[in-house]
Structure 1
Amino acid sequence: MWQNLTKQILVFVLMTPLLAGCWDRLEIEDRAVVLAIGIDEAKPGDEQETSNATHILNQDSPKKGLIRITVQIAVPGRIPLGTGGDTGGPADQKPVWVLTSVGYTIEDCLMNLQQQLADRLFYGHLRVIVMSESVAKKGIQNENDFFRRQPQVRRTVWMVVSKGDAADIMNATPQLERVPTLYLLATLEHAREMGKLPNIFLGVFFSASSAKGQEGTVPYLELKKESNIEIAGMAYFKNDKMVGTSTALQIGHYMAIKQLNPGGYSILQEMPNSNTNVIFKTTHRKSKITTTIKNGKVFAYIRCQVEGDLTEKSNEKVLVTRNNLIKLEEKIQKDAAEGFKDFIQQTQEDGSDIFGFGEYVRAMQPAYWNKEIKTKEEWEKQYKEMSVDVSMHVKIRRIGTKTK
């Protein structure tokens, strides 16, 4: 009898904490859901907008310059539901509320912003972080620290660099989507699915930046007319500072070297022995990177194989023969190898190993790394002097249905 009574008491004690599972609940209507954050440098005169929410009175202001953040906050009941886009309210009501705040750090700006809001800021649904190019070039140590420490921020958030002000993208009004953040998110996600952008989420950027033999990259965006957003390339970093950008086609070079599929970029080439232009579209990539040590220096070898289709020919009178295809493949191979080398040399001049050659050295030549390199700063020096050999093999698989 005592054993049964003890079991019943034990079960009751274990179930008691489950009865209080909602004691700290917070209704969704009581949250200020942040969808996107834009970070810019503050302009002269913006210091008047600062608040003393985080400042001790009579304390000297920090030496770091002011920044301005622009946030998009979802308005409950106005976000489109389902495929019909019905928001349940008047059509002229905006689904997001765009607010700005000025401060010395990200948290300082957000605390100043919180003083203006009735609801608590919530970052669990944050999808995009946009930084202006000027902020990225000065260094994003503070931004990285804040988003690493914030437990609500997911590692699948997209962090991007804008060519102009980040606030312009925050205030853009695209025609295909009522919620600007969702349109920007769809632009990035669909580009990744089509092979036009690598999978470089915030977590991937953090991992690459923390590695001793690699640097991080993020998408580089430019706002065009009619509020459409162009993926202009990639912005790459060195020690938390943006040091350069790539072109859109160089994204394809990067993905080919890293063996990231599917292939989504096309190149314009001239058919050998003719004035006819053709379009070659990459569909699949294979790559192998090896590193060796010769005379105390690092040598990298890249063996890349690219397959694709001939999707367009400007002059249908010019026949696509076997001989022409072989010459076209050889020309694409030569131009691609030169393009790869130029891009790698560009990153070497900037001292940013975005390809992760240093990680290959750490893995394959650990004795050399532990004796000669050891630190990330030393690898940056050696990366500038490293020799790279690129070997390309291009295969045109399909030429279309209209041929002879």
Structure 2
Amino acid sequence: MIRQRVITLSGLILCILFLPGCWDYQKINDRSQIIAVGVEPTSVNPKMLTYTLQIPVFQQPEQGGAAPGSGGGEPSSNYHNYVISALSFDEAVSKAQTQSDKGLYLGNIQLIVYSTKLSHAQFRRTTGEFMRNPRFEKLSWVEFTPQSPSEVLSAKTDLAPADSFERILSSSVKQHGYTVRTHLWEFWRDFWTIGRQPYGGEIQKTPTGFRVDGLVVPVRHNNCIELTPEETLYFNMLCRRVQSISFNVIDGAESFGVGEVNTKSNLSVFMNKGRGNVLRARIRVHALVVRDERDGMVLLSHKDMKRYERVMSDQIKSQVEQVIQKFQHNETDPFGFGETIVTQNPRMAEYVASQWPHDFAHSTSNIQVEVRLKRKGALR
């Protein structure tokens, strides 16, 4: 009986010794995860780009020494930015490795920040590098900035900037109508999708931290089309989805507020030979009236609610048409109208690839908005 217990104990010890990680539990101290990448042009060489690689700092130097963060070398800095000019991303990582005594890993990248000053070819080349690298995290968020990405990635935040950005972008809060959230694989997919242009959100550094709102579309003329947060809201109503957001509806000299706004949409194109194409969209909106024009002192009648629905429908339709026209002026279709043509008729792929930008710019729009409002009641 005693011998059996000894054998069992010996077997248990052997199992523990050979568990994965038992012998290399300190290896995590030999690794540095790159959590954000910034990309911007450099004046040194038009073929080179400046990459900002952000890594978290988990241990502060002893004896009150300064941490290697980019925030002025303050002891409380919890990240470090490597700013390196190179011909490729892999070369930038290799150069950064010469400055670090830890191995740099790419499997935990949360954010990519592109400068809007990059050319269309540079966007495409760099995104291709990221996608072809098997170690690169394909679920990274893609954001644009008119500022320097190295400056944005040094914003004042409680966490490392990349962690703060990722917390907002991947949050369970559904009120993201004023910006868009695009993963790396989606951004690259749209580069190759016939009838659709890639796009991403906009991020900027502020004196107190940062701001994430708006939308940016890189176009072939080596510039970017930018939408304001308000324009982005109507862009999302047209070709994405808006959930649980609140905004103001103008009604002549008055206005009323709506909340818990949820939208769905369907896009299609009517090919009208000889008379131009028609861009069709049907947008369904469900919302709650949270502030009426009489501050809730009088109960809204059924007639009032129908008028509110009509006013809100007209506002959404007008704003959506303006957003479409802004992109038509640049012969750019980020909505995916051209993609719907190919989806319904694959034989039209060659036409969409070659002629759709021009035909899209000269198409008319037919936007139908169906609004359904609810009310809370009146104060007495």
TM-score, normalised relative to structure 2:
0.81
User: Do the aligned residues in 2 keep the contact of 1:276 with 1:314 (CA within 8 Å)?
Assistant: yes
Provide the secondary structure at the position in 1 that maps to 2:361: helix
1:3 corresponding residue in structure 2: none
Secondary structure of 1:190's aligned partner: coil
Partner of 1:293: 271
The answer on whether the counterparts of 1:29 and 1:76 sit within 8 Å (CA) in structure 2 is no
Q: Using the TM superposition, give the Cα deviation of residue 127 of structure 1 relative to its aligned residue in structure 2, in angstroms.
A: 0.4
Q: Following TM superposition, by how much is the alpha carbon of 1:403 offset from its aligned partner in structure 2, in angstroms?
A: 4.1
Alpha-carbon deviations, 1:237-259, whole Å to 9, x = none? 33595530112122222222225
Distance 1:250 1:320, change over 3 A: farther
Distance of aligned partners of 1:102 and 1:236 in 2 relative to their CA distance in 1, 3 Å threshold: same
> Match of 1:388, as an amino acid?
S
Cα deviation for residue 135 of structure 1 reads 2.1
2:230 is aligned with 1:253: no
Distance 1:189 1:383, change over 3 A: same
2:319 is aligned with 1:339: yes
Kept after mapping to 1: 8 A contact 2:248/2:258: yes
Q: Deviations over 1:137-159 (max 9, x none)?
A: 67412211210111122221001
Q: Does 1:117 align with 2:100?
A: yes
Which residue does the alignment assign to 1:364? 344
Q: Which residue of 2 aligns with 1:32?
A: 32
Tell me the matched-pair count: 344
Task: Give the direction of change, closer, same or farther, for the CA distance of 1:255–1:206 in structure 2 (3 Å limit).
Answer: same
**Alignment partner of 2:196: what SS?**
coil
Question: Alignment partner for residue 356 of structure 2, among 379, 399, 404?
Answer: 379
5+ residue gaps in structure 1?
A: 1-18, 48-62, 79-90
Question: How far has the Cα of 1:99 moved from its partner?
Answer: 2.0
1:42-121 residue pairs with structure 2 within 5 A? 42-43=42-43, 47=44, 64-77=46-59, 92-121=75-104
Q: Is the 8 A contact 2:48 2:87 kept in 1?
A: yes
Per the alignment, do residues 379 and 316 of structure 1 end up closer, same or farther by CA in structure 2, a change over 3 Å counting? closer
| CA–CA separation in structure 2 for the residues paired with 1:314 and 1:375 | 47
Task: Indicate the residue corresponding to 2:298 in structure 1.
Answer: 319
Alpha-carbon spacing, 1:141–1:259, altered in 2? closer, same or farther (3 Å): closer
What do residues 57-98 of structure 1 show as CA deviations (whole Å, max 9, x unaligned)?
xxxxxx6344222221122446xxxxxxxxxxxx94422112
After superposition, the C-alpha distances for 1:223-272 in whole angstroms (9 at most, x for unaligned) are 22212x222311113359553011212222222222524242523423x6
SS at match of 1:267: strand
Give how far 1:160 is off. 0.4
Partners in 2 of 1:267 and 1:31 — Cα distance?
49
Which amino acid is 1:359 matched to?
A: E
The answer as to 2:186 corresponding to 1:204 is yes
Q: Output the aligned Cα RMSD.
A: 2.9
Deviation at 1:165, TM superposition (A): 1.2
